[in-house]
Structure formats: structure tokens, C-alpha cells
Amino acid sequence: MSEIQYGLVRDLGAVDFQKAREATEASMKSEGFGTLTEIDVKATMKKKIDVEMNPYVILGACNPQLAHQALQAEPQIGLLLPCNIVLQQNDSGNIIVSAIDPVKMFEVVGRDDIKPIAEQVRQKMANIIEGIKL
């Protein structure tokens, strides 16, 4: 796993996209997360602007207990929820999975009391990315 300024990234190699997605969702489940939303970016781009692209799916991940804690502390934090996990196939055919870094994302809130929740979510996001088994 590697990090970018705002997220966690792992190259899963040249594996089947659907199998990578299933393995990602299984890893999410093991950390108490489910998928609230899904955006099939490839299909949307084709439909809206007739552009072909590699498979690219955004999963809106949520852990209800942690989301509830964050919403209790800061009701408007819903603007930053759910936590996005992206699966994409790059031009080499590898599947790249990435997740938002909640610590970076929640910095905009500017409240130290929310930081422990963000750190807990970040650890779970890292566990999800590292725990994908193919």
C-alpha cells in the first residue's frame, strides 16, 4: 500500500475487475463497512458524453457506528460522508484500489475532538486496502 496526499492506494495487479470488487467489498465487511452508494464512472461517461474509459467504480463506504459518532459530534459532517473507495483499471490492465484518508478529509472541520474518530476510520480504511485477498 502507498499513500497519496489525500488517500491510500494499492495496486492489485492484473486481476479480474469483478473479482477485485468482490474482494474489496469482503474486506470492507470485515471492518464493519458496507456500500451505501455506487457510481459506475465508466458507464456514466459513456452515457452522458459518449466517452470510453477503463472500468472505474466509486463505492460510498459507511461504518454505521463510526458515522453515528461523527454525526453526533458534528451534524454537518454528513457533507464528508460516506468514505469513498475507488476501484479502477489502469491502462496497463492493473486494478488500482484507493480510499480517502479521513484524517486529511476531516481536517477541514477544524475540531480536535473529531480527530480520534477520523484516525479510527483511517486505520480501518488501511485495513480494508491491505486486507483485500485475491
Which pLDDT does position 7 carry in this prediction?
97
Which pLDDT does position 77 carry in this prediction?
94
Digit-coded pLDDT (tens) for 20-59: 999 999 999 999 999 999 999 999 999 999 999 999 999 9
The C-alpha atoms of residue 110 and residue 131 are separated, in whole angstroms, by: 31
Sorted by where each starts, the structural domains of the chain and their CATH numbers stand as 2-130 (3.30.310.70)
Confidence class for position 103, pLDDT limits 50, 70, 90? very high
What mean pLDDT do residues 97-119 have? 94
